[in-house]
Amino acid sequence: MKNKETKINVRENMFREMKEKSIFNQVKEYAFEYADNSLNRNVYPTEEAIEDLKIFDEDLPEFPNQPQDILEKLHKYGSPATVSQIGGRYFGLVNGGIVPTGLAAKWLSDFWDQNTPLYVTSPITSKLESVVERWLRQIFDLPNETVAGFVSGTSMAILCGLAAARYRVFKRLDWDINSKGLINAPRIRIVAGKHAHGTVLKAIALLGLGKDNIEWIDVDQQGRIIPENIPELDEKTILILQAGNVNSGAFDAFDKICDKANKANAWIHIDGAFGLWASGSVKLNHLTQGIEKANSWSVDGHKTLNTPYDCGIVLCSDREALVSTLQATGSYIIYGEKRDGMLYTPEMSRRARIVELWATMKYLGRQGISELVTGLHERAVQFATELKKNNFSILNEIVFNQVLVCCDSDELTEKTLTFIQDLRECWCGGAIWDNRKVIRISVCSWATTQEDISRSVRAFVKARGEAKK
């Protein structure tokens, strides 16, 4: 009887909470407090904040708890233990900031809580996906027949793009991969540059194509594929190119390479997680010249475009290949004349991430996207310039938003990076480049100012000084 009464009380409480909205106002205040501090606080959590996370170590409660207490605990101990990725001095991974309009739109869509497989489950998301698909074709100058799938990130987008490629290449060989699978299948080829991103390798493994079967192409000192070293291609080939090397930011020579691949009727996929957005910059769109000659593309909104997490996009000029490889059937699935988003994604259950992507692109427009993308490049150039003046070595050409930094020795570089991270003024990660340890800087947030860069450079100098002691 007690359990039954508890269930009734919980349900009644939830009705009251939705009506009174006090817990939402409580969270609003917490969110605004977090936003006010995000630009100037320590970028990485303090040791004390991390130690305090042990307060969450507990068994599942036997009975319901008060929502106000839950939210207070989450804010008191959770907020200080976050990494301030929405501020201007986080340069780790390739994490974008967050455009306020996009964040506000996400808040609204969180209340909508739409599941988006079909038009009949959410007409608004179907409409916005159709609109943004057209906008993406325009900003990237892609063929009119290009379709878009809205997924969690580029990892999933690459998987979808290469799955579509696999379907089409096998179809040319009169092999239905959906029905027959890979057992006794004809051999197809995977050709990629030696600096292909790890998510490309993951997708190839997941698709059963085998990492050991990749035909590797040599790259130059910036990580770009050397066109002359590309092997002879054919209609059995999937060629993978890169718009934005994850370390150097370099772009492959799409125009020249795609012409060669198209003559051989090879499938071309371009991994453009953050770099494809260079197409939207008046100053930088030369970097993506020729991308329209590919067959599929993968890109993130939550990197360069600064949408909230998570927001990935697969684009494909072969609708039949993408839809066929992501097929789903069931008598209860009601396809219609309007856009049904699940045709272009692996998931059926999928949140309405299109809402904040639409809001961000609507807010920025062509001019704002160009300004945002160009600004990231300008701050990266500033970072490299100021570091050089302070006798750090810069190992890459600053073509986009990436900067590779090192000191006089690997040991000093490694120690300097450790001290930079300990200072918490800014945050960067490490990598290996040309057999040297480097500090890897990714400038990805609209919120990064000139002073943020100079402040971060001062942290570099202080950290190197400590490392030399």
Report the alpha-carbon angle 317-369-102, nearest 5.
90
Mean pLDDT of 381-403: 98
pLDDT of residue 161: 98
**Tens of pLDDT, residues 99-115:** 999 999 999 999 999 99
Domain check: are 276 and 217 in the same one? yes
Q: Judge whether 93 lies within some domain.
A: no
Domain check: are 339 and 460 in the same one? no
Residue 428: Cβ-neighbour burial (10 angstroms; 0-12, 13-18, 19+):
buried
pLDDT of residue 329: 84
Residue 342: Cβ-neighbour burial (10 angstroms; 0-12, 13-18, 19+):
buried
Compute CA 88 distance to the chain's CA centroid, rounded to the nearest angstrom: 18
- Owning domain of residue 417: 367-468
Q: Which amino acid is at 293?
A: K
**Tens of pLDDT, residues 211-221:** 999 999 999 99
Of 361, 392, 418, the residue at which a domain comes to its end is 361
Kindly tell me if the per-residue pLDDT of 3 is higher than 50: no
5 pLDDT band, cuts 50/70/90, is: very low
Is pTM, for the whole model, over 0.85?
A: yes
CATH number where 198 lies: 3.40.640.10
Kindly tell me if the per-residue pLDDT of 8 is higher than 90: no
Which residues, at least 6 apart from 218, have a Cβ–Cβ distance to it below 8 Å?
Answer: 194, 225, 226, 229
Q: Judge whether 208 lies within some domain.
A: yes
Domain check: are 461 and 343 in the same one? no
By C-alpha distance, which of 371, 265, 254, 356 is closest to 313? 356
pLDDT of residue 293: 98
Domain check: are 402 and 348 in the same one? no
Mean pLDDT of 264-277: 98
DSSP per residue, 416-446: HHHHHHHH-SSB-EEEEETTEEEEEEE---T
Kindly tell me if the per-residue pLDDT of 9 is higher than 90: no
Q: Judge whether 119 lies within some domain.
A: yes
**Tens of pLDDT, residues 298-353:** 999 999 999 999 999 999 999 999 999 998 888 899 899 999 999 999 999 999 99
Structural domain count of the chain: 3
Of 319, 334, 361, the residue at which a domain comes to its end is 361
4 pLDDT band, cuts 50/70/90, is: very low
Residue 145 in tokens: 């027949």
Domain check: are 61 and 109 in the same one? no
Are β-strands 312-316 and 393-394 bridged in parallel, bridged antiparallel, or unpaired? unpaired
Domain check: are 337 and 414 in the same one? no
- Can you state the angle between helices 450-468 and 354-389, rounded to 10 degrees? 50
Residue 435 in tokens: 């057999």
Of 83, 115, 142, the residue at which a domain comes to its end is 83
The per-residue pLDDT of the chain, averaged, comes to 96
CATH number where 406 lies: 3.90.1150.10
Tell me how far CA of residue 371 lies from CA of 236, 275, 282, in angstroms. Answer: 41, 15, 9
Residue 381 CA to residue 376 CA, distance in Å, equals 9
pLDDT of residue 2: 44
